[in-house]
Amino acid sequence: MKESHTLIFAETEEEPSGKARWQRQVTILFGLLTNLYGRDQLLTRAKKYNALKLMRTGQPPERLLALQRLVFEDDSLVELPQERDFPRILAEIEETLADQLARRAVEGQLEEKVALKVQEQHERYLEDIKLQILNRETTVENASTLKKYALLEKMEQVGLSVPVREALRPRHLKEVVGQAQALEALLAKIASPFPQHVILYGPPGVGKTTAARLALTEAKKRQYTPFGEGAPFVEVDGTTLRWDPREITNPLLGSVHDPIYQGARRDFAEGGVPEPKLGLVSDAHGGVLFIDEIGELDPLLQGKLLKVLEDKRVSFDSSYYDPDDPRVPKYIKRLFSAGAPADFILIGATTRDPEEINPAIRSRCAEVFFSPLTGKDIRKIVREAAERLRVRITRPAVELIAASTIEARQAVNVLADAYGLTLQQQGRRGQDKPPVIGIRQARQVLQMRRLSPLTTKASPRPEVGRAFGLGVNRFLGMVLEVEAAAFPALEPGQGKIRFNDTAGSMAKDSVFNAAAVIRRISGEEIGNYDLHVNVIGGGQVDGPSAGAVIFLALYSAIKEGALRQDVAVSGELSIQGRVKEVGGIPEKIYGARQAGMKKIILPRENRADIPLDKGGVEVVLVDTVEDILEHVWAKEDQ
């Protein structure tokens, strides 16, 4: 025991060997107490338990009593120990001190461990604080970037005007011209407690996009629809969306930016955490996703879109994702585990025929057909657009624009160009009173746009070997002008038939069918003639509906009988002379009206396809070619 531990105790003369032994043992125990509590704390405890005076005496009993009070923490002990009790008392004191020393050693170890843990937690806490401060205060800004930001802010304060298409776009469904039936059908499917996915068919520029947007606006006003006030209308062009086989990016469905190659957020990249990016299908959640030209959408992307329509969710996956990584935020874990919601109504628009659309998408969508615009519709659109522009337009100018285009978008653009040209030509007069768009400005704009009035093909003068048929191209009806010439064959029975090389195989078959019918009803041997059949304009004619018009042209040429030039016909011709059902009746009637035809001859089997509004054109239903001849021969040839 160190000498410094016993300085407070009095020195005594050498005692007999027994007492000296007890004295040394007591002194050692006091040294242990000094090591256990320390000098100052031991003196404090001695005062507390009235042991200080007993400690300083030189007698073993008093010092042993002091030791008892300090070790057992009991100042009620007053009886001096007898020598015979010294071994027992010392043993009890030693055992108690051993417990205290052991406890102190364990407590010391625990305190060291606790201190170490506290230090670790403190250092981690400081690191988090530093990171937050760095994230908050670290900036990539400098004088150059701040200058560019200020320039952008200044640019935001400058605006020219609303684009003319926005200014002239209909704001209400009642302003959409010429599509009453289509709008009613669209509303029935969208503004419903159970809205349906829809595909809109029709020619370009007839208002499909505008109708879809306004249909959602109307649906949000009705309490029984599931669309909320903030239901989004997300518009995208299908021609711009392509499937990325590497799955690096997908604006339609969403993608995952890995932390290495695709530049995830800095804090994610440093931790190796992939970051999902939501796509348009999630942006449209709760509203409408409008895909214009959906027929042009990448086939692989169409398959992925079908999966989303079924699940109403988008799933994400990445080889970099670790669900047990504590650095992954909860929202990223949610996206990888449950996906992103994508419950929306799909409205697709296309100028393609229904047969060209993915059958799986068609099966999940209702279909609405938009009609081509008539001259009357175009005139109304031009006049209403002029009112929105607060400009006057003369009637001849309106008629010229309506005669030169069949698209609402194109007609409005022509009007907008004419408006700007009128302001330029009128100079200051445009500031004093509303400008007036006349036929001169309209004609000048049409010439600049390379547009000319649509030629009316109907004529009151009959002709030999010339007949009009009806066709459809992308929802636009048109009149086909077919002519034929018949010449005696150089050798009887060796005549030849020539038809357009651009025509399809079915149209060529119609020529031979017509030849067989001519022989059947007239007795003429077709082999005695060299026959030439031509579709004026080089149109690509395919399909069986040209059979009737080819028969008329050939029959007229062989018989040298004149045909009326204000009648158009459509129908498949059988070799027995029957006129069979064809498609595209509403569009064909539209085309005939545009060409100025007075009468249209159609198969009787198509009677259910004829629209109520025929635009003043007479529609005749027939069963055989003999019925057709009654209506197409000029009076003097009948």
Question: Sign of dihedral through CA atoms 313, 319, 320, 326?
Answer: positive
Q: Are 505 and 572 in contact (CB under 8 A)?
A: no
Q: DSSP string of 340-394?
A: EE---EEEEEESS-GGGS-HHHHHTSEEEEPPPPPHHHHHHHHHHHHHHHT-EE-
CA distances from 108 to 34, 99, 100, 113, 564 (A): 17, 14, 12, 9, 118
CA angle 613, 206, 569 (to 5 degrees): 45
545 belongs to the catalytic site:
yes
* Segments in 365-522 forming alpha helices (H): 375-389, 395-404, 408-426, 429-432, 439-448, 505-522
Identify each DSSP E strand in 134-202 by its residue range: 198-201
Q: What is the rounded distance in angstroms from the CA atom of residue 284 to the CA atom of residue 345? A: 8
Given the residues 545, 556, 580, 599, the one annotated as active site: 545
Nearest to 371 by CA among 210, 203, 205: 203
CA distances from 79 to 60, 67, 335 (A): 13, 13, 80
Q: What are phi and psi of 384, to 5 degrees?
A: -65, -35
588 belongs to the catalytic site:
yes
- Look at strands 618-622 and 599-603 and give their pairing: parallel
- At 297, list the tokens: 């959408």
Q: Are 80 and 62 in contact (CB under 8 A)?
A: yes
Q: Are 183 and 173 in contact (CB under 8 A)?
A: yes
From first CA to last CA, the distance across the chain in angstroms is: 148
Residue 404, helix vs strand vs coil:
helix
Q: Are 289 and 345 in contact (CB under 8 A)?
A: yes
Q: What is the rounded distance in angstroms from the CA atom of residue 554 to the CA atom of residue 532? A: 8
Nearest to 228 by CA among 217, 212, 244: 217
**Contacts (Cβ under 8 Å, ≥6 apart) of 462:** 562, 563, 564, 565, 634, 636, 637
Spell 71-88 as b/e; 16+ CB within 10 A means b.
beeeeeeeeebeeeebee
Burial of 504 (0-12, 13-18, 19+ CB in 10 A): middle
Q: What is the rounded distance in angstroms from the CA atom of residue 283 to the CA atom of residue 341? A: 9
Given the residues 588, 598, 599, 614, the one annotated as active site: 588
Neighbours of 340 (CB within 10 A): 21
Q: How many residues does the chain have?
A: 638
Q: What is the rounded distance in angstroms from the CA atom of residue 474 to the CA atom of residue 501? A: 22
Helical (H) or strand (E) element with 154? helix 143-156
Give catalytic residue positions: 545, 588
